[in-house]
Structure 1
């Protein structure tokens, strides 16, 4: 059951992260990004990769919260 719940969290989050990646970088060039006035010294591919994993982590948190809110109080308190 735990592996099934894990896939309920990870798979939709993976799909949404891929969609976010395409949408964000269709409008933003990774070489134009700045952090506190300094540009990133990473390649475009590295920025794409880091952004994908950040999007995936954030959407996994969202999916996990949705799953948690859908559980009964008995299941949560076990």
Structure 2
């Protein structure tokens, strides 16, 4: 994969992950989250896990968008 394409995928998804984390964790306290009803995790761990989850989802969306975009003749000759 080209470095430019990787930048087009990771940078917007990073920004969206930050925005999504801010919105979700403004509404949900991580200490109120219980996995399988009884497992409680640290607040910092859930903040980080949530951010990386949102980043992965947004990166997948950006990668699919880039994959489905039409390829022009000038793009195909880039190294």
Q: Give the paired residue count.
A: 73
Residue correspondence of structure 1 range 1-78 to structure 2 within 5 A: 2-40=2-40, 42-72=41-71
CA distance in 2, matches of 1:22, 1:30: 12
**Structure 1: 5+ residue runs without aligned partners?**
none
Which of the two has greater strand per residue? 1
| TM superposition shift of 1:39 | 3.3
Give structure 1 regions of 4+ aligned residues with deviation exceeding 2 angstroms.
none
| TM superposition shift of 1:58 | 0.6
CA distance in 2, matches of 1:67, 1:16: 16
